[in-house]
Amino acid sequence: MGISSEITALNVEIAKCFNSLATFTPATGSAVSLRVELEKAVNPQPTGYDGMTWNQQTTIECLLADLPAEPNSGETFKISGTTYTVASVIDNDGYFVTCAVK
């Protein structure tokens, strides 16, 4: 077994630990079930010299191999009855993809 297949196998094990079961629905094609990491965070945003503001951001991370393709804006993840719509892809390292959702 080469390093690439070892990394792939390890990533599958990591994805099993993600905190939510989800259904991803692409714009075209069939929906797929997978595990995802749903995270809601407050991100401070610098505003200049006198203060700071913040914004709340919700992200979903999943194993790229579990999806038919990288998610596109407008596609959805459904988790525990709540539908999250992909706003943009924040990160894609070729193994995992993280999306900003709303």
Q: What is the pLDDT of residue 44?
A: 74
The predicted pLDDT at position 51 comes to 65
CATH number of domain containing 59? 2.40.10
- What's the Cα-to-Cα distance from 98 to each of 31, 37, 46, 71, 91, rounded to whole Å? 18, 9, 23, 9, 5
pLDDT one-digit tens code per residue, 73-82: 999 999 999 9
* Tens digits of residue pLDDT in 4-62: 889 889 999 999 999 999 999 999 999 999 999 999 988 777 666 666 677 889 999 99
Query: Which residue range(s) make up the domain with 48?
Result: 3-101
Return the beta strands (E) in the chain as ranges. 20-25, 32-46, 52-63, 76-79, 82-92, 96-101
Confidence of residue 101 (pLDDT cuts 50, 70, 90): very high
Whole-structure pTM value: 0.86
Specify the pLDDT at position 55.
80
pLDDT of 47: 63
